Chain A
Amino acid sequence: MVMKSDVQILIEKDRVTFWHPQASDMVPLTAGQEIALGGLLRTFRRKARISGSQVVLFVAEELLFYKEIELPLKIPNLKEAIGYQLSMITPFAEDELLSGFEVHRRKEAYLVHLYAARREPLEKHLKDLTRAGFQVTGLFPEHQRYLMRDSRRNRWGLVLPGRFAKILIFADGRLEKRLLSNSEPAKERLTEVCETEAIYHPQPGTGHFLDAGQLLSSQPSLKEFNMLPASYRRPDYLKMAIAALVALNMVALIGLAGVKVYHLQAVASRVENEISVLSPKIENLKQLQDQEQNLLDYTKRIEAMGKNPDLVVFLQRLTKELPRNSYLAQMRMDPNNNAIRMQGYTEDIGELTASLQKLGDTKLKSTSRRQNQTYFDLEVNTP
Chain B
Amino acid sequence: MNRLSDIKSRIGTKPLLIGIVVLLMVLNLFRFAVGSYENKKETIQARQELLARYEASLRQLPSLRSRVSALDRQKKMFQSYLFSGGSEEEIASSMQIMIQKQLVEAGLNPESLRPLRSGDTKGKEYGEISIKVRSAGTLNEFISFLSNLYRSRQLLRIESFTLKPYNQSELKIFIDFKGYYKLA
Contact = CB atoms under 8 A, between A and B. Distances in A.
Contacts of B114: none
A105 B146 contact: no
A278 B54 contact: yes
B163 A295 contact: no
A220 to B, nearest CB: 20
B58 interface: yes
A271 B51 CA distance: 7
A328 interface: yes
Nearest to A302: B78
18 contacts: A104-B9, A105-B12, A260-B37, A264-B41, A268-B47, A275-B54, A282-B57, A285-B60, A288-B61, A295-B72, A299-B71, A308-B157, A312-B147, A315-B139, A329-B164, A330-B162, A330-B164, A335-B159
The main secondary structure of chain A at its interface with chain B is: helix
Interface of A: 73, 104-107, 172, 257, 260-261, 264, 267-268, 271-272, 274-275, 278-279, 281-282, 284-285, 288-289, 291-292, 295-296, 298-299, 301-302, 305-309, 311-312, 315-316, 319, 328-336
Interface string B28-70: 0000010001001101100110110011011011001101100
A329 B165 contact: yes
Given A261-B37, A288-B61, A288-B65, A282 B54 contact: yes
A332 B161 contact: yes
A271 B44 contact: yes
Interface in B141-184: 142-143, 146-147, 149-150, 157-165, 176, 180
A334 B10 CA distance: 109
A46 B64 CA distance: 97
B112 to A, nearest CB: 18
A275 B160 CA distance: 58
Interface in B1-37: 6, 9-12, 33, 37
A272 B12 CA distance: 53
Contact of A312 (B58, B67, B150): B150
A98 B143 CA distance: 136
Given A274-B51, A275-B47, A292-B68, A307 B58 contact: no
A267 B67 CA distance: 36
Given A288-B68, A332-B160, A267 B44 contact: yes
Interface in B106-155: 125, 139, 142-143, 146-147, 149-150
Interface centre among B12, B60, B146 (most CB of A within 10 A): B146
Given A305-B157, A319-B139, A289 B64 contact: yes
Given A285-B60, A299-B71, 19 more contacts: A105-B11, A106-B9, A257-B33, A264-B40, A271-B48, A275-B50, A275-B54, A281-B58, A281-B61, A285-B61, A285-B64, A288-B65, A289-B64, A306-B157, A308-B157, A312-B143, A330-B164, A332-B163, A336-B159
A332 B160 CA distance: 7
Interface centre among B37, B60, B68, B125 (most CB of A within 10 A): B68
A73 B146 CA distance: 119
B160 A333 contact: yes
A311 B146 contact: yes
Nearest to A315: B143
Contacts of A295: 68, 71-72, 74-75
